[in-house]
Amino acid sequence: MMSVVSALQPFARPMQPSPIQRRHTLPASEVRPLNTQDAISVFEIEREAFISVSGECPLHLDEVRHFLTLCPELSMGWIEEGRLVAFIIGSLWDKERLAEEALTLHKPRGSTVHIHVLAVHRTFRQQGKGPILMWRYLQYLRCLPYVRRAVLMCEDFLVPFYCKSGFRSLGRCAITVANLTFTEMSYPISGHAYMRRNSEAIRFPQALSLHPPLGVPPP
């Protein structure tokens, strides 16, 4: 005698597996160029990092927007789960030493990258993110054929930090802000043609590891 189940089986609709619910997750960690939509997050991190120490911000909000409009490719943001945790903003300069105009101008024909600011969100400090992001940024600059060096100005207590990243002191900077004086520092970019020939490396390294390869410790 045919069972009820077997009798109904020819007419039963086969069960379809329930669709897998895909979670739209953000990358755990990535670097990318910044844009004007990042300006407020950038300024909030910068203001907290610098106001408490020196009382001055390297860039005001309108200046952040200014550089992210003119030369976003010279910025780099470290994003963790959709949140900006550290950043660098740079622009091009066309003279041997920094001058007052370098604080606000971008010189498209220049071959020197002026690094205006490196800052890390307070929650993520003391984790080595500043040196790692600087290392990643300098590797990226080596892939830009028009860049010959990077320069920055910093207060004296930060000189050892940047020396560990490979910068050397050029002496006292001509720029002063309020009562603050600065040391000007330089990092050579030219002479790395082997990296410029790597077509894969020329693209912005947002998918590359933030960490130096084995055997090359971060500064």
Which residues have a catalytic role annotated? 91, 105, 116, 118, 162
Identity (one letter) of the amino acid at 189?
I
157-to-111, 162, 170, 181 alpha-carbon distances in Å: 28, 10, 15, 11
Identity (one letter) of the amino acid at 196?
R
Distance CA 99, CA 122 (A): 30
State the DSSP H helix or E strand holding residue 61, giving kind and residue range, or none if neither: helix 61-70
User: Helix, strand, coil: what percent of the chain each, to 5?
Assistant: 35, 20, 45
Shortest CA distance to 132 belongs to which of 216, 28, 189?
A: 216
**E strand spans, 53-148:** 75-80, 83-93, 112-120
